C-alpha cells in the first residue's frame, strides 16, 4: 500500500520516508490508515525517548484544513458585521446568517439534481430563459423606445432654437 522509500540513521535517530499512496487512494485516507494500523504497532517497539511525527504533505494537509476553518470563521464574522451595519440591526442580520446553512443545503441539492438529470435541467433552464425573455423583453423594448423618443424630442428642441 505505502512503500518505504528510504530509511536513514542520523545523529538524531532513524528517519523513515514514505512514498505517496496509490493513485486511487486519497492522501487523507492513507494517513488515517497509517495512524490507525501502523502507528500503534511501531509505538510498541519504540524506546521511551522515541517519537513518531507526520511531516511534509501530511502536516501540510492538517495545516491547510486548520487555516481554511479559521478563514471561514473570519469571513462569517465579517459578513455578520457588514450585514449588521446595512440592516442596522444585529438580530435581523443574525436571522439572515442562520438561513445560510439551509441555502447551502439547497444549493448542493440543486447541484446533485443537475448532475443526475442533465436533460431535465436543460429544459428547465431553457424555459426559465424563455420566461425571463417574455417578462423583461417588452419592458426593455419599451424602455429603449422611451429613451429614443426623449432623445428625439431633445433633438427637435435643439433644432428649433
Q: 107-150 pLDDT, tens per residue?
A: 788 777 777 877 777 777 777 777 766 776 676 666 667 767 77
- DSSP code of residue 81: H
Question: What mean pLDDT value characterizes the chain?
Answer: 76
Q: Over 90: is that where the pLDDT of 74 sits? A: yes
Q: How confident is the model at residue 4 (pLDDT cuts 50, 70, 90)?
A: very low
For the segment 16-32, what is each residue's pLDDT rounded down to a tens digit? 666 667 778 877 777 78
N residues, the chain: 161
CB atoms within 10 A of CB 21: 18
Domain boundaries, the chain: 4-54, 61-116, 117-161
Q: Give pLDDT, residue 68.
A: 92
Angle at 130 between CA 125 and CA 136, to 5 degrees: 120
More confident site: 79 or 47? 79
CA distance 134 to 149: 23
pLDDT at 5: 47
More confident residue, 82 or 55: 82
Rounded to whole angstroms, the Cα distance separating 26 from 4 reads 18
Q: What is the pTM of this model?
A: 0.41
User: What is d(CA 97, CA 41) in angstroms, rounded to the nearest whole number?
Assistant: 47
* Angstrom distance (rounded) from CA 116 to CA 111: 9
Residue 160 cell numbers, joined: 428649433
- Give the integer Cα–Cα distance in Å for 51 and 93: 49
Q: How far is CA 96 from CA 48, 80, 88, 99, 157, in A?
A: 54, 9, 13, 5, 51
In angstroms, what CA-CA distances link 54 with 35, 57, 69, 73?
9, 8, 21, 26
Amino acid at each position: 500500500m505505502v512503500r518505504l522509500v528510504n530509511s536513514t540513521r542520523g545523529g538524531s535517530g532513524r528517519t523513515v520516508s514514505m512514498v505517496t499512496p496509490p493513485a486511487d487512494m486519497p492522501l487523507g485516507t492513507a494517513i488515517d490508515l497509517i495512524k490507525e494500523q501502523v502507528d500503534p504497532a511501531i509505538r510498541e517497539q519504540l524506546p521511551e525517548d522515541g517519537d513518531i511525527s507526520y511531516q511534509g504533505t501530511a502536516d501540510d494537509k492538517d495545516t491547510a484544513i486548520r487555516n481554511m476553518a479559521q478563514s471561514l470563521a473570519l469571513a462569517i464574522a465579517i459578513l455578520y458585521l457588514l450585514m449588521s451595519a446595512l440592516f442596522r440591526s444585529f438580530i435581523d442580520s443574525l436571522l439572515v446568517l442562520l438561513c445560510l446553512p439551509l441555502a447551502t443545503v439547497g444549493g448542493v441539492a440543486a447541484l446533485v439534481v443537475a448532475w443526475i438529470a442533465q436533460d431535465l435541467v436543460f429544459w428547465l433552464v431553457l424555459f426559465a430563459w424563455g420566461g425571463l425573455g417574455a417578462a423583461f423583453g417588452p419592458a426593455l423594448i419599451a424602455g429603449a423606445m422611451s429613451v429614443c423618443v426623449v432623445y428625439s424630442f431633445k433633438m427637435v428642441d435643439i433644432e428649433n432654437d
